[in-house]
């Protein structure tokens, strides 16, 4: 078994990409199979049931739960407007009056003579599902959603924050190890996805935020800068739901480092092109990594001849094992972030400095140094 | 399926058992066979779990794991229809096939009750004990507005809800209110859309009719005996049993491939933590002692305990060594991690390292400093999980207890059941403990995190067989007990830790004072005497399987279980690390000054031989000595 334990991150200049777009509850699909859709286009729509609201009428009116019907002015199923009278009572010959008015508009869903509660439901909340990527609808799941397919550049990051966004790629540095000066981010960056080099510093993130950029892509981030920008710490590796105006994608890890050459040259190739990106990261069984997708011009034609390639084309894991000559990225100290090439795969377990007995490999770093690394601590650099 | 008729072989005739545990990432199979009069572990195999896409069939992972066992034994256990039961010959099939599962996120539950510290807490204990992850606890008095609770129920999408409230004959109104909240939320199950969410009602029996009227049309309602029929009593078993039934009927049946797996097994599939809990209870009975068990994983840490014959389990859902390692940092703070390190490290570097472990969870420490940092994090994860456990493993709250002397005062009994002095064994499992390069590292992590008092055996589960042995014990207690003792339990050693009296830490001088004298009669008949001063840690060789007679004589301000200054004579078990004498105080005393503290940690590392000295020297070179 010569597998790296950590699957490599993908960085491909042209590949088939499929994304399933699904409503959380059944609704209407607005597009048809074969339609070409845009990232911001609404492809399906539904209505989420309105929020329920419970009012303890018995308490509020000062009656026993079993007596609430004597004061209620509404019944189950009634529609009411905000301010409508729900319950009314008068006593002492009309001198003392009590009433309870509806705090919201909605429907009376339930009245309980056991607890004295009334449950109202507010009007439904419309929910629209966007296409996310420019592509062709290859499957419609009635009432649920669609599968959209495209061909284009595909880059995975290691960690991200922020949800789905769309913007034009703008490479701001010449060298992937350079740290961008935040002052270079100006109004030209509005609506764009900025490739900022080695580090997404706190200054860069705040500045990008101010000018209205849609995304920031960097090799690394310093832990404290992430906390500073988010305003809180991240405890568990599940992201994507943060309420921030831009999406951050880190390609290598935490700390200053270089964007892998292949990834950086790919980003340079798509400079100026429209991209869809998503920072959502989930590192558990069923790993989800952040992604950047840039559909090719004229992908419609190229896809026509490819649709037979199979649904899983984008997900198909090449599963390539490690071999002598395989390019790798080392993902833990003492060579964290180094790129290397496998030179030897000794089959027997070896004792490393920490005294653990593990499977290792020998690799040549870019400066020619030969090192020994546990196989668990490398990633294959994927095509 | 859970079908008794499938067990055609009587207990005495069982010679071969296959058991699997389908975890969220790995499926582990073990083969147990009877050799002469005893059952032993023969081989184990493992393979990736295949619940997620693209496979979406758990039985593929089971086939692969059992397939490894087939390769190792040269025997055949798999047929076209699954695991071959009953055994057809010595070379084909097995007498019993059992399984546990936590794949697909395990069993995720929400619980509700009336009073947060009473019925809601009892419901939480019932769910945890059954092996669930409790996503939220809703109570009438939890401080949230009704609409917030409704929103929460809708948002969580649990696998099932357990709801309780009121003693029999007590409040109906509040229980009804909770039922109405659940109805208003109209909750949907997490997996699958073709079935109704199971809701178990285990509250006031006089509210059953109304609960039924409110919920019956919306959910799959099950009614069981009240968890708190009277204030003084907690009856968890009926609710736990129903949770297990529903786990099989609904949750498992919805997970990919499980309906097939359920047909293969000789007995019901148990949720993994439920099986581990069963295993820990067996250990307590088998060795007649109070036990703490801990399983530290990548995402969660489970703590189990049996004190005063009461079993408790807690899950710290976000304390783990990889996916949730940053949460350990967040909850404990950097200074609490740094305090276990023998060298200086920059804060920024340490934070980045921890984050990088989170995003690349399968990497392993290559360098010694990385290993020491990881084990420091484990100490804190274990400590926090144990603190959490102590708050839930309590006597029943809400009871009024009359105090002596005819006092007019009454008091709530909320003391934790956990008593570290009466504790007999701490049993650890999980990669960071079971795979520590030196066993003494696991022993020290357990000592530092749990801080056992008096005389306590420390042990680890060699390959984390507890789930399989737990489910096996439900059908064959003897086989489970024998394999546990001979092949699963690795005794690290007995820890002897005197506890200072309350005023000791007020002294001007702590270090250098005599704490205890231990006279040992070794198995070879020789005698030795060890005297320890405060702050010392020492290791005495005593092999696994050996015992020594110890006369432990603490000085007047220390207690080892017999009272301050009182001598305790006892038998102590050996282990792979020997006998561990710990005079560092309880709570364990770490000096505040960072340089002095690092020096102290280095002394402990040296006296216990925890890490390789030459490699460690490289990391502290140039730093203060």
Q: How far apart are CA A264 and CA A176, in angstroms?
A: 6
B331 vs chain A: nearest CA distance in angstroms?
9
First to last CA, chain B: 64
Question: For all residues of chain A together, what is the average pLDDT?
Answer: 88
> How confident is the model over B477-518, as pLDDT tens digits?
999 999 999 999 999 999 999 999 988 888 888 898 999 999
Q: Are residues A111 and A215 in the same domain?
A: no
Examine the domain organization and report whether A332 and A280 are in the same domain.
Answer: no
Has residue A12 been placed in a domain?
A: no
Question: Residue A68's domain is classified under what CATH number?
Answer: 2.40.50
In the predicted model, is pLDDT for residue A134 greater than 80?
yes
Q: Is the distance from CB of B160 to CB of B125 less than 8 angstroms?
A: no
Query: Are the beta carbons of B510 and B478 closer than 8 angstroms?
Result: no
Task: For residue B366, give the nearest of A233, A235, A334 by CB distance.
Answer: A334
Average pLDDT over residues A154-165: 94
Residues A244 and A360 occupy one common structural domain: no
Across the range B210-224, mean pLDDT stands at: 93
Q: Please check the confidence at residue B592 and state whether its pLDDT lies above 50.
A: yes
Of the candidates A240, A265, A289, which is a domain's last residue? A289
pLDDT of residue A9: 82
Measured in whole angstroms, the distance separating CA B73 from the mean position of its chain's CA atoms is 32
Which of the two residues, B140 and B397, has the higher pLDDT score? B140
Q: What is the CATH number of domain B4-103?
A: 3.10.20.370
| pLDDT at position B7 over 60 | no
Under an 8 A CB cutoff, do B183 and A119 touch?
yes
Q: Which residues on B lie below 8 Å from A332 (Cβ)?
A: 356, 360, 363-366, 370
CA closest to B361 among chain A residues: A283
| Domain match, A274 and A162 both | yes
Residue ending a domain, among A121, A146, A171, is: A121
pLDDT at residue A319 greater than cutoff 50: no
User: Is there a domain that residue A18 lies in?
Assistant: no
Measured between CB atoms, which of B147, B176, B615 is closest to A115? B176
A107 touches chain B (CB under 8 A): no
Q: How many CB pairs under 8 A join A and B?
A: 167
The CATH class of the B106-259 domain is alpha beta
For position B338, what pLDDT does the model report?
97
A359 contact partners, CB below 8 Å, separation of at least 6: A349, A350, A374, A375, A376
A57 shares its domain with A113: yes
- Do the Cβ atoms of A237 and B326 come within 8 Å? yes
- Where is the domain boundary, A121, A149, A174? A121
A100 and A223 co-located in one domain: no
Point out the least confidently predicted range of A136-145, B247-256, B451-460, B581-590: B247-256
Over residues B75-87, mean pLDDT: 94
What pLDDT does B407 receive?
38
Sort out which chain A residues have CB atoms less than 8 A from B358's CB and list them. 237, 283
My answer on whether A164 and A264 are in the same domain is: yes
B103: chain A residues, CB-CB within 8 Å: 285
Maximum separation of any 2 CA atoms in chain B, in Å? 75
Asked if A356 reaches chain B (Cβ–Cβ under 8 Å), the answer is: yes
Residue B194 pLDDT > 80, yes or no?
Answer: no
pLDDT tens per residue across span B516-553 = 999 999 999 999 999 999 999 999 999 999 999 999 99
Look at residue A240 in the predicted model and tell me its pLDDT.
Answer: 86
What are the domain boundaries of chain B? Answer: 4-103, 106-259, 294-395+414-620
CB contact (8 A) between residue A115 and residue B173: yes
% of chain A at pLDDT higher than 90: 62
**Which of B152, B151, B177 shows the shortest CA–CA distance to B163?**
B177
Q: Do the Cβ atoms of B370 and A52 come within 8 Å? A: no
pTM confidence score: 0.85
Query: Do A171 and A82 reside in the same domain of the chain?
Result: no
Work out the pLDDT band at B314, boundaries 50, 70, 90. Answer: confident
Q: How far apart are CA A122 and CA B184, in angstroms?
A: 12
pLDDT of residue A6: 58
CA B349, CA A360: separation in Å to the nearest integer?
25
- Average of per-residue pLDDT across B435-464: 95
pLDDT of A308 reads 39
- Please name which of A228, A333, A168 lies closest in space to residue B367, comparing C-alpha atoms: A333
Structure tokens at B121: 């807490």
Which stretch of A109-118, A339-348, B188-197, B562-571 has the lowest confidence by average pLDDT? B188-197
Model confidence at B412: pLDDT above 80 = no
pLDDT at B151 over 90: no
The answer to the question of residue A213 being in a domain is yes
Q: How many domains does chain A have?
A: 3
Q: Tell me the per-residue pLDDT of B45-55, one tens digit each, with 9 for 90 and over.
A: 988 788 766 67
Least confident of B10-19, B67-76, B245-254: B245-254
Cβ-defined contact of A237 to B358 (cutoff 8 Å): yes
- pLDDT band of residue A286 (cuts 50, 70, 90) is low
Whole-number pLDDT of residue A50? 79
> What CATH number has the domain bearing residue A356?
2.30.30
pLDDT of residue B157: 78
Read off the pLDDT band of B2 (50, 70, 90): very low
Distance CA B525, CA B546 (A): 12
Look at B394 and B191; give whichever has higher pLDDT: B394
A227 or B317: which carries more pLDDT confidence?
Answer: A227
CB atoms within 10 A of CB A311: 15
Choose the closest CB to B183 out of A51, A110, A354.
A110
> For testing the chain A interface, which of B138, B366, B369, B373 should be mutated: the one with the most A CBs within 10 Å?
B366
- Which of A63, A122, A221, A235 to substitute to test the interface with B, most B CBs within 10 Å? A235
Distance (Å, whole) CA A267 – CA A155: 8
Contacts of B593 (CB under 8 A, 6+ apart): none
Instruction: Kindly state the tokens that stand for B567.
Output: 């001598």
Confidence check: pLDDT of B3 > 50: no
- DSSP for B466-522, written as a single string: HHHHHHHHTT-HHHHHHHIIIIIEEEEEEEEE-EE-TTGGGSS--TTSEEEEEEEE-
Question: Nearest to residue B500, comparing CAs of B584, B604, B383?
Answer: B584
Question: Can you give the pLDDT at residue B398?
Answer: 60
pLDDT above 90 (res B391)? no
Greater pLDDT, B579 or B129: B579
Which residue range is the domain that position A211 belongs to? 158-289
ipTM of the complex: 0.82
Q: Give the number of C-alpha atoms closer than 13 A to the C-alpha of residue A235, restricted to the C-beta side.
A: 14
Instruction: Report CB contact under 8 Å: A255, B356.
Output: yes
Q: Which of A272-286, A327-341, B221-235, B514-528 has the largest mean confidence?
A: B514-528
How do residues B153-178 score in pLDDT, each as one tens digit? 877 778 899 999 989 988 788 898 89
- Classify residue A371: in a domain, yes or no: yes
Confidence bin at B569 (pLDDT 50/70/90): very high
Region B247-256: what's the mean pLDDT?
A: 74
Q: Which two tokens stand for residue B28?
A: 């582990």
pLDDT at A3 over 80: no
Q: Is residue A24 part of a domain?
A: no
Q: How confident is residue A7, by pLDDT bands cut at 50, 70 and 90? A: low
Over 60: is that where the pLDDT of A228 sits? Answer: yes
């Amino acid at each position: 078994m010569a597998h790296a334990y950590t699957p490599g991150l993908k960085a491909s200049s042209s590949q088939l990409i499929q994304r399933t777009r699904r409503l959380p509850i059944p609704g209407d699909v607005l597009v048809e199979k074969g339609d070409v859709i845009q990232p911001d286009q609404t492809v399906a729509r539904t209505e989420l049931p309105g929020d329920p609201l419970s009012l303890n009428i018995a308490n509020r009116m000062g009656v026993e739960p079993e007596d609430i019907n004597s004061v209620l002015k509404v019944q189950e199923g009634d529609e009411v407007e905000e301010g409508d009278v729900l319950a009314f009572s008068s006593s002492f010959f009309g001198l003392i009056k009590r009433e309870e008015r509806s705090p919201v508009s909605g429907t009376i869903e339930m009245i309980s003579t056991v607890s004295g509660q009334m449950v109202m439901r507010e009007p439904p909340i419309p929910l629209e599902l966007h296409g996310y990527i420019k592509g062709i609808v290859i499957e419609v799941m009635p009432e649920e959603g669609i599968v959209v397919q495209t061909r284009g550049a595909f880059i995975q990051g290691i960690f991200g924050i922020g949800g789905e966004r769309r913007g034009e790629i703008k490479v701001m540095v010449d060298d992937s190890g350079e740290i961008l000066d935040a002052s270079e981010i100006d109004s030209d960056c509005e609506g764009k996805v900025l490739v900022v080099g080695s580090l997404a510093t706190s200054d860069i993130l705040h500045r990008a935020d101010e000018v209205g950029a849609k995304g920031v892509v960097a090799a690394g981030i310093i832990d404290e800068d992430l906390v500073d920008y988010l305003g809180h710490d991240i405890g568990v590796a599940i992201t994507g739901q943060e309420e921030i105006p831009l999406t951050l994608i880190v390609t290598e890890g935490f700390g200053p480092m270089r964007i892998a050459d292949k990834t950086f040259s790919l980003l340079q190739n798509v400079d100026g092109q429209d991209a869809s990106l998503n920072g959502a990261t989930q590192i558990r069984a069923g790993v989800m990594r952040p992604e950047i997708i840039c559909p090719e011009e004229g992908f419609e034609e190229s896809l026509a001849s490819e649709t037979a390639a199979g649904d899983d084309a984008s997900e198909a894991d090449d599963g390539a094992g490690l071999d002598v000559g395989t390019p790798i990225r080392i993902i833990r100290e003492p060579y964290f972030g180094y790129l290397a090439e496998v030179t030897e795969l000794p089959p027997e377990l070896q004792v490393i400095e920490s005294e653990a007995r593990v499977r290792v490999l020998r690799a040549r770093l870019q400066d020619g140094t030969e090192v020994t690394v546990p196989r668990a601590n490398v990633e294959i650099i994927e095509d | 399926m859970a079908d008794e008729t499938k067990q055609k072989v009587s207990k005495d005739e069982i010679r071969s058992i296959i058991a699997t545990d389908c975890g969220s990432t790995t499926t582990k199979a073990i083969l147990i066979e009877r050799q002469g009069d005893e059952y032993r572990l023969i081989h184990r195999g493992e393979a990736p779990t295949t619940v997620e896409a693209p496979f979406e069939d758990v039985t593929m992972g089971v086939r692969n794991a059992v397939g490894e066992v087939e390769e190792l034994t040269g025997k055949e256990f798999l047929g076209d229809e699954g695991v071959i039961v009953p055994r057809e010959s010595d070379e084909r099939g097995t007498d019993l096939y059992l399984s546990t599962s936590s794949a697909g996120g395990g069993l995720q539950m929400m619980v509700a009750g009336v009073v947060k510290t009473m019925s809601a807490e009892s419901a939480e204990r019932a769910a945890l004990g059954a092996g669930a992850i409790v996503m939220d606890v809703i109570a009438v008095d939890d401080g949230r507005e009704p609409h917030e609770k409704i929103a929460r129920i809708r948002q969580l999408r649990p696998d099932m809800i357990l709801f309780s409230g009121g003693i029999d004959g007590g409040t109906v109104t509040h229980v009804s209110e909770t039922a109405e909240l659940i109805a208003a939320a109209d909750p949907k199950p997490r997996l699958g859309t073709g079935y109704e969410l199971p809701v178990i009602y285990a509250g006031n029996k006089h509210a059953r009719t109304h609960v039924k009227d409110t919920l019956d049309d919306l959910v799959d309602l099950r009614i069981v005996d009240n968890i708190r029929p009277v204030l003084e009593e907690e009856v968890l078993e009926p609710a736990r049993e129903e949770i297990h039934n529903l786990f099989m009927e609904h949750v498992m049946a919805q997970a990919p491939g499980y309906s097939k797996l359920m047909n293969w097994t000789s007995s019901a599939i148990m949720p993994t933590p439920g099986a581990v809990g069963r295993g820990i209870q067996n250990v307590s009975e088998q060795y007649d002692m109070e036990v703490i068990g801990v399983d530290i994983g990548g995402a969660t840490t489970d703590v189990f305990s049996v004190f005063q014959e009461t079993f408790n389990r807690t899950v710290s859902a976000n304390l783990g060594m990889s996916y949730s390692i940053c949460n350990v940092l967040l909850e404990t703070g950097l200074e609490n991690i740094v305090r276990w390190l023998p060298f200086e490290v920059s804060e920024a570097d340490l934070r980045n390292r921890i984050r990088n472990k989170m995003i690349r969870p399968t990497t392993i420490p290559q360098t010694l400093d990385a290993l020491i940092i990881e084990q420091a994090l484990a100490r804190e994860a274990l400590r926090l999980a144990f603190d959490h456990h102590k708050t839930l493993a309590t006597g029943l709250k809400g009871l009024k207890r009359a105090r002596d002397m005819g006092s007019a005062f009454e008091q709530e009994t909320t003391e934790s059941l956990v008593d570290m002095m009466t504790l007999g064994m701490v049993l650890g499992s999980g990669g960071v403990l079971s795979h520590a390069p030196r066993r003494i590292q696991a022993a020290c992590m357990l000592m530092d995190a749990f801080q056992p008092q008096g005389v306590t055996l420390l042990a680890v589960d060699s390959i984390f067989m507890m789930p399989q042995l737990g489910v096996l014990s439900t059908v064959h207690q003897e086989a489970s007990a024998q394999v546990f003792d001979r092949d699963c339990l690795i005794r690290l050693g007995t820890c002897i830790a005197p506890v200072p009296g309350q005023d000791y830490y007020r002294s001007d001088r702590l270090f250098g004072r005599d704490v205890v004298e231990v006279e040992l009669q070794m198995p070879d008949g020789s005698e030795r005497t060890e005297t320890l001063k405060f702050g010392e840690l020492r290791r005495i060789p005593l092999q696994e399987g050996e015992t020594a007679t110890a006369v432990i004589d603490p000085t007047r301000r220390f207690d080892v279980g017999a009272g301050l200054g009182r001598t305790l004579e006892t038998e102590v078990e050996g282990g792979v690390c020997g006998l561990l004498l710990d005079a560092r105080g309880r709570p364990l005393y770490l000096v505040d000054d960072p340089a002095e503290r690092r020096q102290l940690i280095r002394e402990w590392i040296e006296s216990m031989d925890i890490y390789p000295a030459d490699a460690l020297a490289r990391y502290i070179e140039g730093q203060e000595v």
